[in-house]
Structure 1
Amino acid sequence: MTPAGRGIRLDDDQRLAWLRLIRSENIGPVTFRDLINHFGSGLAAIAAVPDLAQRGGRRIRLCSIEDAERERDGLARMGARLVAMGESDYPPLLRHLPDAPPLITVRGDAACLTRPAVAIVGSRNASVAGRKFAAQIAAGLGQADYAVASGLARGIDAAAHAAAIDTGTIAVLAGGLDQLYPPENIDLAERIVAAGGAHVSEMPYGWSPRARDFPRRNRIISGLSLGVVVIEAATRSGSLITARRAADQGRVVFAVPGSPLDPRAAGSNRLIKDGATMVTDLDDILSELGPMRDRTPAPIEIAEEAADDEPRPADVADDERAAILSALGPTPVEIDEIIRFTGGRPAVVHLVLLELALAGRLERHPGQRVSLT
């Protein structure tokens, strides 16, 4: 396995294999990482996937070489590129997440992604006061040498991006890099890139964002940041999803108090009641984050070379597979418990779980738990 901190280097064939793998059916970030770590490379994993899925109970669609090349070339035409987990331009804090995207697409200056970052999110229908405060906080964070991350949405997001353009801001998109949303912020998005900021997405080139893509996007906003500042979030705001993901990821959650008469502040006021750090000025953020800005947690490892001491089986005996299946059900159970219960080798258990995941029969849960769908 690639030693922690050394990073990886993908050649063109490996990068294309990674792209094919993550764009294939039933392969999300966790399954992707398990495949790479089990088989040692994207090329080997691609070759193994059809048989694995069939052993799990069905055939799945693999992304073709032609489709992957089309996406890669489309990104290149717009001045964007693919950055893999473990490469030097990949956001270091994001790499810590169990569900971190193995590949992100980046347009702009990737150096912005490796700086300490703070996310600012909030209401799309923001008040003038809310936008003004977001701009003040964003400008102050930039002067303190933090990058500002947000989602390019109307309201608070746009105010934060605009105020941090000169010091570096990161727009995390719910669709492909060529599908900027909302349309009225396209000019702002272009200014971000021109000034040395960056656009980031895990979605394919050409992908139009759907409602369910925004919560998925939000985990990246919080994941690449040390903390998340919530300004004017209603009780059902998407910003609260970002705050919840931030808390789950061990990030600091900040919230700006608002009038109890303003429904736009109900969610952020609730965050404060629930333990978020209240923000009334920039120092509330800087004093909290200062001691941790240079700390990088241990990364989730991913290998792109022959792996560790335990032999990696290519197949599993029927009795071993049956024992592992008997340990699974609709109730989530920790993978380590399955290993202890069955007495199977970890590599064998993980291979059967890969078979089930590729066949769409396995659901993954926080805390390394799995269940049958």
Structure 2
Amino acid sequence: MSNAQFSKPLIYMLIGSAIILALSLGVRHAFGLYLVPMSHEFGWGHNVFSLAIAMQNLIWGAVQPITGAFADKYGSKIVVAVGGALYTLGLLLMAVSSTGLLLNLSVGLILGLALSATSFPVLLSAVGRAAPPEKRSLAMGIASAAGSFGQFIMLPSTLLLLQSVGWSGALIVSAILIALIVPLAWMLKAPMYQNSNASSVSQPALGFKQVLVIAKNHKPFWFLALGFFVCGFQVVFIGIHLPSYLIDHGFNATTGTVFLALVGLFNIVGTYTAGWLGGRYSKPHLLMWLYGLRGIAIITFLILPLSIWTIYAFGIIMGLLWLSTVPLTNGIVANMFGIKYLTMLSGVVFFTHQVGSFFGGWLGGLNHDLTGNYNAIWIVSIALSAFAVLVHFWVDEEHVIHD
């Protein structure tokens, strides 16, 4: 039994990753607060802002395997630093976006590229590569929890900024904070974990194309990816549109902000716990439970009379289930294919997550513009939970490529 602990370089990497994820995801999760003020100022329907967010998620996912391949080859710190600079530029351009075209350029293209370099796939893969196997799931859970803390802090802070300096001023302040990612990237220097008990005979190196062919022919990998599609759909639909849903039902913007902040706060517990449990129990079985509980939570929220207490209770429950899928899903990819190609292959799975995010964000706004409500998308979210439970029956953690 190995007694491996977190090394000092890994601890520094965890701290750096935690702050970067807190900034990157904290600002990103607050985008839903801009939907109403920007749409009102420029006379847009909800569909305009929703489409820009949907494009962001699609571009983010489409380039994620490429960004991951660069990180695998050249190192995470360079990729994250470039991503931080792009993120800053995108927020500054968003602050002056007065047309749908500018909004899609800033929020969609530039921020989509930036998020591919400053979010979970690159940073969790860097952490997972540096952690000993028995601590890998826990280390990923710790880093994932940090992104949730950023959501908890940034959402109320963004609301205060919106109320005091307006949406454009709030974006400029956010850009200044995001610029800190560039120097923080240099904390990502922990070396790849080397198993001292491993055979001295090294395995022949595989090219990226060979690895992709192996992954393409491994059916459990694609069932895992289909499950992550559901995660993206649900998280982006609720994260972007729930504040608007609550406004439609007579609640103010503060209620939606508190809901999302509660999601962020309790996701700290959820992601850490998921990482801890992933080191002890079957990760596919844990994912089945998570998706099933999400569906039950949504059904209960819709059936009960809408009140402050049911809204906040839904925020707490969804927080526990929110991004708990991330350390488990990345952990399964690491077990299947080893850590050498983890960033790229996590990026492939993440692409399906972002396709789901595209449809969750865009269809939510389109459905609202056409019908004045979100009823159809809630039903789709419930059906997708059942689908995600089903597909994880065929996911296992069998080693396909060894470290």
Which TM-score bucket, shorter chain as reference?
under 0.3
TM-score by length of 2: 0.23
Larger radius of gyration: 1
Higher RCO (C-alpha 8 Å, min separation 6) = 2
TM-score by length of 1: 0.25
